[in-house]
Chain A
């Protein structure tokens, strides 16, 4: 029974961790940029959700209607105006720019919101129910549902729409995509926007699941890296599987060893399958 309980908990958390990784996989796999600011992006998403929720007095999930488009816009502009220009100078300068962004965001959040821990509370935060002797937290279930819906929407966007196809084509061969009439700079900006939008959703989930402060971004950056590399860069199904693996590691290892187990797992995956579980 304990085994099944662990499995269920890990599985439900898996969606949540995949969601944290999904924005990163877009950027690594498509824009080919190591974005050190992704953790801070997620935290911005959390603060935005908290502000919108308390200002309008609505259910936290409804705040996405405002935060997702807003974050998309920020991501688009950041990439189009700033990061894209740094990328022309090579991968290391671009990396340093994203780091510059991450420390700027950290201090800015500290100035605006102070260093105090915050969280987004919901009526169902602590409720659980039991099915066949297995305890299921309502919150975890909600997080799982949010994650799966977001991942499905993203998958559909990438496979069905013209822009989604252009994003995949650019990831495959940017020059050939340009020759098919794609504006690469714009596609990168859209990918960053989508990544930011997913960070808005992930931030909301983090706010509901635990507390956050302006410096919590770093931990989520590592989480995102682990999930993305285990899953294979740019692979959405891979990210989902990796998220579940990561979730299980967290549940089994607990607070003190969960993180360590996942790091060791990542290094093992890199040795055995350097391109990730589903990477090619």
Chain B
């Protein structure tokens, strides 16, 4: 059917003597939404940080868009078209909203046509256009997430990783943001990885899912085919 975009093969990550991720594997097809669920401390964020080159993996392999990106520098990975929106958004608080968004087009591949992309993002998030000159630090939590999403979109990624985007937001805002993620996925055919703790919401959104427990990927499958009991067992490790 569709081509494989991202493959994570038996990736392990160590923090000193502590194994945070052990031989985790994951595949994302082009245009697909994949959810990565699991308890706090299961290693979801660490796994994705390692994929992005923020941590050096101890072993394993990451292939993105046909290229081996294991242990590549983060800026190279971003330039390849893989972006991560970190927990809490992590906007550049002292810079204006517009400068934050423009930062997203830093990779040389994204600089051409940055203006059009910017207009597109203002269309997607009209609030940001109103506040384009305000420092990002003055915005609300939901708006800061929008800035972070917009910033990542400016690089025109082929695949976007959302790290617990719903953390600390109100249900209405979460719903709104999820709606926009769907739009992004459908319009631009951008593949999406959702790191989530809320299993039900993640499964409703995604085509396929992976469950992580204590550093390993313990269960995976199609989101609409899984039965609740199996999922619960894998999630809590019973």
Specify which chain A residues have a CB less than 8 angstroms from the CB of B63 in the assembled complex.
none
Chain B residues contacting A183 (CB-CB under 8 Å) are 73, 75
> A181 with B92: in contact, given A165-B103, A176-B86 (CB under 8 Å)?
no
| A residues neighboring B (CB under 8 Å) | 162, 165-166, 168-169, 172-173, 175-184, 280
> By the criterion CB–CB under 8 Å, are A168 and B92 in contact?
yes
Asked if A173 contacts B106 (CB within 8 A), the reply is no
Q: Evaluate contact between B94 and A180: CB separation under 8 angstroms.
A: no
B residues sitting closer than 8 Å to A (CB atoms) are: 52, 54, 73-75, 78-79, 83-86, 90-95, 99-100, 102-107, 110-111, 151-152, 155
Please give 8 more A-B residue pairs, beta carbons under 8 A apart, in addition to A173-B90, A180-B103. Answer: A165-B103, A168-B94, A169-B92, A169-B103, A176-B86, A178-B54, A181-B74, A184-B75
- Name A181's contact: one of B75, B93, B95 (CB within 8 Å): B75
C-alpha gap A172/B94 in the complex (Å): 7
A179-B74 CB under 8 A given contacts A162-B106, A166-B106: yes
Partner of B75, one of A168, A169, A182: A182
Cβ–Cβ < 8 Å partners of B100 in chain A = 169
Q: Is the CB of B151 within 8 A of A180?
A: yes
> Is B106's CB under 8 angstroms from A181's CB?
yes
Residues on B with beta carbons closer than 8 Å to the beta carbon of A176: 86, 90-92
With A172-B94, A176-B90 as contacts: A165 and B107 at CB distance below 8 Å:
no
A166 to B75, CA, bound (A): 12
* Contact between chains at A178 and B99 (CB < 8 Å): no
Q: Cβ of A177: which chain B residues have Cβ within 8 Å of it? A: 92, 103
In the complex the two chains form, is B54's CB within 8 Å of A181's CB? no
Residue of chain B at shortest CB distance from A234:
B94
Complex Cα–Cα for A183 and B95 (A): 19
Check A172 against B106 for contact (C-beta < 8 Å): no
Q: Which 7 A-B pairs have the closest CB atoms?
A: A181-B78, A181-B107, A176-B90, A172-B92, A178-B74, A183-B75, A169-B92
CB distance from A171 to the nearest CB of B (A): 8
Query: B106 near A180 (CB under 8 angstroms)?
Result: yes
Task: Determine the chain A residues whose CB is within 8 A of the CB of B107 once the complex forms.
Answer: 181
Give 10 CB contacts A-B under 8 Å. A165-B99, A165-B102, A169-B92, A169-B95, A169-B103, A178-B75, A180-B152, A181-B104, A181-B107, A181-B110
Listed residue (A166, A172, A179, A183) with the most chain B CB atoms within 10 angstroms of its CB: A179
Contact partners of B92 in chain A: CB under 8 A: 168-169, 172-173, 176-177
CA–CA, A165 to B91, complex, Å? Answer: 13
Q: Tell me, rounded to whole Å, the shortest Cβ–Cβ distance linking A254 to chain B.
A: 38
- Specify which chain A residues have a CB less than 8 angstroms from the CB of B74 in the assembled complex: 178-179, 181
Min CB gap B77→A, angstroms: 9
Of the listed residues A166, A173, A175, A180, the one surrounded by the most CB atoms of chain B closer than 10 A to its CB is A180
Contact partners of A173 in chain B: CB under 8 A: 90, 92-93
How many angstroms from the CA of A177 to the CA of B111 in the assembled complex? 16
Q: Is the CB of B83 within 8 A of A179?
A: yes
Measured CA separation A162–B110 after assembly (Å): 12
A280→B99 CA distance, assembly (Å): 19
Q: Which residues of B contact A181 (CB under 8 A)?
A: 74-75, 78-79, 104, 106-107, 110, 155
Tell me whether B106 and A179 are in contact (CB under 8 A): no
Nearest CB on B from A152, distance (A): 19
Q: Give complex CA distance A172, B90 in Å.
A: 10
What distance in Å separates the Cβ of A125 from its nearest Cβ neighbour in chain B? 41
**Residues of B with C-beta under 8 A to A179:** 52, 54, 74, 78, 83-86, 90, 152
Whether A182 lies near B106 (C-beta < 8 A) is yes
Q: Complex: how many Å from CA A177 to CA B155?
A: 13
Nearest residue, chain A, Cβ from B93: A172
Q: Which residue of B lies closest to A186 (CB)?
A: B75
| Distance to closest chain B CB from A232 (angstroms) | 12
The distance in angstroms between the C-alpha atoms of A169 and B94, with both chains bound, is 8
Q: Report the minimal beta-carbon distance from A164 to chain B, rounded to whole angstroms.
A: 10
CA distance A218 to B222 in the complex (A): 67
A168 vs B93: C-alpha distance in the bound complex, in angstroms?
A: 10
Residues of A near B90 (CB, < 8 A) are: 173, 175-176, 179
Closest chain-A Cβ to B191's Cβ sits at a distance in Å of 17
Q: Which residue of A lies closest to B75 (CB)?
A: A183
Distance of A166 Cα from B78 Cα, bound (Å): 14
Contact partners of B94 in chain A: CB under 8 A: 168, 172, 280
Q: In the complex, what residues of A have CB within 8 A of residue B105's CB? A: 162
